[in-house]
């Protein structure tokens, strides 16, 4: 019986992945404290099981391609299509078949701290990572859609391994490599989710650097989006060399 154990000891044993026999015995423990520990443990294990199942589901596209002989599948995503300043950044990521960081998901669903943590893990464990940039001048020259495609193509080119299949978030690029265009792919493919994290964190780091050059615009907090502080700085100081002159309200102010 577990009622001879202190609650603190039960908590410690539960943290060590106990066997079914211990869980069954704990279920018969009449103490409220013991039952509270058991309920907490069961909630946590159920959450982990659900996360794992969802993670495996997000690996379904990669597993299908692997089974067809495509050992190297690259997920591709971008960050920074909407901001008024800075580049659009794309990333291409080839994950190993045993990649197991279940938290890797659409970067928009993760906190900044979690993205930074997973960014390091992805860089450490990926078979290859490529990053492509399209700066504000290219965006103004060929438009944001084409600039995004250009950055994605450059990210694939930057990979040290040549992928046999691409999975891309809602885009298609110019390449001879077979590509699967998926809507909301960053929430449906682990490889694309990994690319979304790498692209987002890489761009955030770059905008933090730009914040040191142009501190009035608050780039470290808004990443180039048109927040009130950013728009106020534009009104007071004008555009910087990294602003997109074809984006509103910048375009109208320049032409006025």
pLDDT tens profile 154-194: 999 999 999 999 999 889 999 999 999 999 999 999 999 99
Of 4-8, 117-121, 135-139, 163-167, give the lowest mean pLDDT range: 4-8
Per-residue model confidence as pLDDT tens digits over 33-90:
888 888 988 888 888 788 888 889 999 999 999 999 999 999 999 999 999 999 999 9
Give residue 1's pLDDT band: very low, low, confident or very high (50, 70, 90): low
| Burial environment of residue 66 by CB neighbours within 10 A (0 to 12, 13 to 18, 19 or more) | middle
Say if CB 214 and CB 201 are below 8 A apart. no
Q: Please give the structure tokens belonging to residue 81.
A: 């299509």
Q: Is 106 annotated as a binding residue?
A: no
Report CA torsion sign: 13, 16, 19, 23. positive
| Among candidate residues 166, 57, 145, the one with its CA nearest the CA of residue 102 | 57
> What is residue 255's predicted lDDT score, i.e. its pLDDT?
62
Is 78 known as a binding-site position? yes
Which of the four pLDDT bands, split at 50, 70 and 90, describes residue 24? confident
Q: Do 38 and 26 meet the contact criterion of CB atoms below 8 Å apart?
A: yes
As a whole number, the mean pLDDT across the chain is 94
Does the structural domain 74-209 have CATH classification 3.30.420.10?
Answer: yes
Residue 249 has pLDDT above 70, yes or no: yes
Domain(s) labelled CATH 3.30.420.10 in the chain stretch across 74-209
**Positive or negative CA dihedral for 55, 60, 61, 64?**
positive
The answer to whether 125 is a known ligand-binding residue is: no
pTM: 0.87
List the single range of 23-37, 130-144, 199-213 with lowest mean pLDDT.
Answer: 23-37
């Amino acid at each position: 019986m577990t009622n001879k154990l202190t609650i603190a000891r039960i908590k410690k044993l539960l943290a060590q992945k106990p066997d079914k026999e211990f869980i069954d015995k704990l279920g018969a423990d009449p103490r409220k404290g013991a039952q509270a520990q058991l309920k907490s443990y069961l909630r946590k294990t159920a959450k982990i099981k659900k996360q794992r199942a969802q993670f495996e589901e997000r690996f379904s596209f990669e597993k299908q391609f692997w089974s067809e002989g495509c050992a190297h599948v690259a997920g591709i995503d971008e960050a920074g299509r909407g901001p008024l300043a800075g580049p659009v950044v794309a990333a291409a990521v080839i994950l190993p078949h045993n990649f197991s960081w279940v938290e890797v998901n659409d970067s928009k669903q993760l906190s900044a701290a979690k993205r930074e943590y997973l960014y390091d893990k992805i860089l450490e464990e990926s078979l290859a990572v490529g990053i492509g940039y399209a700066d504000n001048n290219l965006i103004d020259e060929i438009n944001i859609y084409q600039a995004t495609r250009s950055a994605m193509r450059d990210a694939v080119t930057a990979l040290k391994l040549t992928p046999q299949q691409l999975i891309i978030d809602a885009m298609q690029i110019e390449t001879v490599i077979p590509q699967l265009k998926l809507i909301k792919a960053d929430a449906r493919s682990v490889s694309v989710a990994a690319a979304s994290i790498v692209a987002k964190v890489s761009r955030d780091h770059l905008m933090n650097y730009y914040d040191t050059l142009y501190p009035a615009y608050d780039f470290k907090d808004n990443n180039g989006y048109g927040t009130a502080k950013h728009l106020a700085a534009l009104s007071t100081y004008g555009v910087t060399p990294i602003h997109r002159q074809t984006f509103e309200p910048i375009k109208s102010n320049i032409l006025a």
